[in-house]
Amino acid sequence: MNHSLPTSIGSAGSYHYFAVLTACFTFLLIVAGALVTGNEAGLSVPDWPLSYGSLNPPWEGNIRYEHGHRMVAAFVGLLTIALAVWVWKKETRGPVRKLGWIALGVVVAQGILGGVTVLWYLPAPISVLHACLAQAFFCLVVSLAWLSSPAWERRVRDRSPGLPLNRLAMATAGAIYLQLLLGAIFRHTQSGILPHLLGALLVTLLAGWLIARMFLSPQASSGLTGAATLLGVLLALQLLLGLASWLLRLAAADAVQPEFPVVAVTTAHVAVGALLLANGVILALQSWGVQAGERRAESGLPATPVNP
């Protein structure tokens, strides 16, 4: 595992708030995408990249969801272009500099996948890939926002080799992403829910273990326990939303059109899943700083304050 991320953000802080803005709109885009799926609106606009041969189609029925999603996506694409250029201009850390271009490549691929889903009438593998790439893109933008933040500068100045908590945080973030993949497969293929339930169990175990480790850490500052609490709250909320959306889906099995409670709860489930993943990614990133603090404490040095 490479733990050699440079710590000084230098002038990168100049794009931090822009990265946060991009992350916010990306979250909005994920919500808009979930609304498209929930309302069965994916093919309400038969053409792509234009909508009904126009940039301003009739704002009727499900066209609102699909074209709204496209508009937010186009805006996020523009934001990402600007962010990538900004990162390239201002960022001095090589790995972080690359993240801007990777994010741009992913958002372009994501746009093409969105078009392919329309032109090929929502083939399940493409729809699943589209859903998962959206979350990967969100992770990238959140990472850029975090790595350019003053908090990152404070927390990871004292780097250290990887320790179990670091690996556990990475494993938790990976498990959350896997769980989002299983959720997308369940949603887009109407397959059995068992893999998604097992994924929930895995995430719960890993996140629970991580939360416990964070609380029990010698560096269990209020910031660290706060981060652990946020992870726990998001996890609990996500489990409740998952249960509720499943029960509502069962209750609405004979529905003749998408029903508001189902759409609202499943959309919230997707949204909180994205927040959980972002939280997991930030915890994984900041675990470098936490580990440094622990190492320093064990060696008798004053610990670096940890205030996630």
Partner 1 sequence: MMRLTNYLCLPVALLAALFAGACGSVDIDEEGMDEVDGTEAPTVVTRVDPATAATVTGKVYFEGDLPRARRLAMDAEPACAGLHTGPVYSEVVVPNDNKTLQHVFVYVKEGLEGMMFETPAAPAVLDQKGCIYLPHMLGVQVNQPVRILNSDPTTHNVHPTPRNNREWNESMAPGIPPKMKKFPREEVMIPVKCNVHPWMKSYIGVLSHPFFSVTGGDGSFEITGLPPGEYTLEIWHEYLKEGVTTQKVTLAASESKSVEFTLKQAS
> Judged by CB under 8 A, which stretch of 2-10, 87-95, 171-179, 251-259 contacts partner 1?
251-259
Least Å from the CB of residue 249 to partner 1: 15
Applying CB under 8 A, among 250, 256, 299, 302 the residue interacting with partner 1 is: 256
Least Å from the CB of residue 262 to partner 1: 12
Nearer Cβ to partner 1 (37/172): 37
Site for partner 1 in 10-69 (CB under 8 A): 39-50, 52-53, 57-58, 60-63
Nearer Cβ to partner 1 (55/243): 55
CA 307, CA 11: separation in Å to the nearest integer? 22
Nearer Cβ to partner 1 (104/147): 104
Neighbouring residues of 185: CB distance < 8 A, sequence distance ≥ 6 = 128, 191, 195, 196
> Judged by CB under 8 A, which stretch of 20-28, 115-123, 184-192, 266-274 contacts partner 1?
115-123
Nearer Cβ to partner 1 (39/279): 39
Nearer Cβ to partner 1 (64/295): 64
Torsion angle defined by CA atoms of residues 18, 158, 138 and 203, in that order, rounded to the nearest 10 degrees: -150
Q: 67, 45 in Cβ contact below 8 A?
A: yes
Nearer Cβ to partner 1 (216/256): 256
Q: Pick from 279, 262, 44: which is nearest to 142 by CA?
A: 279
Q: Does 128 bind partner 1 (CB under 8 A)?
A: no
CA 185, CA 179: separation in Å to the nearest integer? 10
Applying CB under 8 A, among 6, 77, 105, 115 the residue interacting with partner 1 is: 115
Least Å from the CB of residue 39 to partner 1: 7
> Judged by CB under 8 A, which stretch of 73-81, 94-102, 248-256, 291-299 contacts partner 1?
248-256
Nearer Cβ to partner 1 (49/218): 49
Applying CB under 8 A, among 254, 299, 300, 302 the residue interacting with partner 1 is: 254
Residues within the interface to partner 1 (CB under 8 A): 39-50, 52-53, 57-58, 60-63, 112, 115-116, 118-121, 254-258
